[in-house]
């Protein structure tokens, strides 16, 4: 059921949990801050996501919900800083953008469920960086962005209290919510593309490979995934957890779960930052807590899953930026070092995925994003440089050194790149050929000279 108010720009939509009030602008209706799971607070902290009980009346879905608790973003010097907007209570929320004519239509639209990056420690699907309105309009698709627990709340490894890849559990819960609910928004639950950037790409691939969630995934979009990163070894995750508990002064005893629930979220974040400093190793950019091998959602490393053909029958769009590593090494890093780190951390994985897909008859479309920063030329096209263009949201990155001043050519590039992502979601064809066995991988270049 839908209805519009007298101003014609507010839409009320009934879903399983209750009614939502969203806004329509430019032919796309947005519903923001929708809870897909119960607030992970109190007895639900450090536990698998629980079903949301729903709400009475009409819930205001005109504003984004809070972010998951997190510290400052590591890439703020490249992307621009964010004003903290986190609140543990209500952080498991998502946002839906749907073509205005999709709701109630007999022609359900393809769906893109997209996860933000941030090193498994930062980010939010509700930020204006990831506003999906133009992406939805570009392909006549339904776009969903979702939060998931990150940092210690998402990846502290304490299976004895239920803390087992909780961020991955949240992502799976969001996927199931989309499968069960997106029809009310005019989306097709049988045509769900799961995508993301950086840690979000890593997570999207895991959802596609895992036998428990893979059947729900029709296609995948993988932007700048950190493919050299294999899931954390359980013994390393246990060591990080031990240091975390020791710094908090918490014992591994029968009161462990309660003791952790009693710690303010800000103190958990401060302690996580201390653990990150303690466990940092030269040349290793891995966070202290991230998906654990053998835990929920990560039964195997991604190369193993790809090699056994787990992506067979799914379309794949995978790519990277030309100078990924400058985001981590800085704009003054030697060009040969940038190229080597970019290749090792990102490029080799792109090629490996394309080869494995081709070997199993799965079309894999490969791209490289090359538009360089106009504010800090030494950055080139760093990690995250494609994000303003993927969502066609250049205005949301006005203060981002990785972007700089934009012109008409940049706006055309944004339409082209977001259009390719939207077209792939809708049809499986972004506009260029897939990699073929025995042929040099066909890489479509966006931007640059």
Residues assigned a catalytic role: 198, 324, 383
Do 148 and 174 contact (CB within 8 A), yes or no?
Answer: yes
Instruction: Please name the helix (run of DSSP H) or strand (run of DSSP E) that holds residue 19, with its range, or none.
Output: strand 18-25
Measured CA to CA in angstroms, residue 229 lies from 136, 219, 358 at distances of 31, 22, 22
* Rounded Cα distance, 218 and 426, in Å: 11
Do 206 and 168 contact (CB within 8 A), yes or no?
Answer: yes
* Rounded Cα distance, 398 and 388, in Å: 10
CB-based burial label for 408 (10 Å; 0-12, 13-18, 19+): exposed
* Rounded Cα distance, 334 and 314, in Å: 39
CB-based burial label for 57 (10 Å; 0-12, 13-18, 19+): exposed
Instruction: Please name the helix (run of DSSP H) or strand (run of DSSP E) that holds residue 338, with its range, or none.
Output: helix 335-342
Q: How much is the CA Rg of the chain, to the nearest whole Å?
A: 21
* Rounded Cα distance, 148 and 53, in Å: 19
Within 8 A by CB and 6+ apart from 244, the residues are 152, 156, 271, 272, 275, 289
* Rounded Cα distance, 194 and 445, in Å: 22
Do 92 and 45 contact (CB within 8 A), yes or no?
Answer: no
8-state DSSP, 214: G
Provide φ and ψ at 252, rounded to 5°.
-85, 85
Helix axis angle, 265-279 to 234-248, nearest 10°: 120
Half-sphere exposure of 156 (CA within 13 A, CB side): 24
Do 329 and 393 contact (CB within 8 A), yes or no?
Answer: no
* Rounded Cα distance, 88 and 2, in Å: 31
């Amino acid at each position: 059921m839908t209805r519009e108010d007298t101003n014609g720009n507010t839409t009320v939509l009934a879903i399983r949990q209750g009614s939502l009030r969203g806004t329509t602008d430019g032919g796309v209706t947005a519903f923001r801050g929708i809870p897909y799971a119960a607030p992970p607070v109190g007895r639900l902290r450090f536990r698998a996501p629980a079903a949301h009980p729903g709400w009475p009346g009409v819930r205001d879905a005109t504003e984004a919900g809070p972010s998951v608790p997190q510290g400052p973003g590591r890439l703020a010097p490249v992307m621009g800083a964010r004003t903290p907007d986190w609140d543990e209570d209500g952080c498991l929320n998502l946002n839906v953008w749907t073509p205005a004519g999709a709701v109630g239509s007999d022609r359900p639209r393809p769906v893109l469920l997209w996860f933000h990056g941030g090193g498994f420690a930062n980010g939010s699907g509700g930020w204006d960086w990831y506003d999906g309105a133009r992406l939805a309009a570009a392909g006549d698709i339904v776009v969903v962005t979702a939060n998931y627990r990150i940092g210690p709340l998402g990846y502290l490894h304490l299976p004895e209290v239920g803390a087992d890849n909780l961020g991955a559990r949240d992502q799976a819960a969001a996927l199931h919510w989309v499968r069960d609910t997106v029809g009310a928004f005019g989306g097709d639950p049988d045509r769900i593309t799961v995508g993301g950037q950086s840690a979000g790409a890593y997570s999207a691939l895991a959802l596609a490979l895992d036998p428990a969630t893979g059947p729900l995934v029709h296609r995948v979009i993988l932007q700048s995934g950190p493919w050299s990163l294999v899931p954390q070894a359980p013994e390393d995750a246990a060591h990080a957890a031990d240091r975390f508990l020791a710094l908090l002064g918490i014992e591994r005893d029968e009161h462990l779960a309660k003791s952790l629930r009693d710690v303010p979220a800000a103190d958990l974040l401060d302690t996580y930052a201390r653990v990150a400093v303690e466990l940092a190793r030269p040349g290793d950019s891995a966070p202290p807590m991230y998906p654990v091998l053998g835990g929920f959602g990560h039964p195997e490393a991604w190369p193993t899953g790809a090699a056994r053909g787990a992506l067979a029958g799914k379309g794949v769009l995978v790519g990277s930026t030309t100078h990924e590593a400058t985001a981590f090494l800085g704009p003054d890093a030697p060009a040969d070092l940038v190229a080597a780190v970019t290749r090792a951390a990102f490029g080799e994985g792109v090629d490996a995925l394309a080869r494995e897909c081709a070997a199993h008859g799965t079309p894999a479309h490969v791209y490289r994003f090359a538009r360089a920063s106009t504010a800090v030329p030494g950055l080139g096209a760093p990690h995250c440089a494609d994000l303003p263009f993927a969502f066609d949201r250049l205005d949301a990155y006005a203060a981002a050194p990785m972007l700089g001043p934009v012109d008409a050519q940049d706006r055309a590039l944004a339409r082209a790149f977001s259009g390719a992502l939207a077209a792939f979601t809708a049809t499986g064809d972004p506009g260029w050929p897939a990699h073929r066995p025995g042929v040099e991988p066909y890489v479509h270049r966006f931007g640059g000279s």
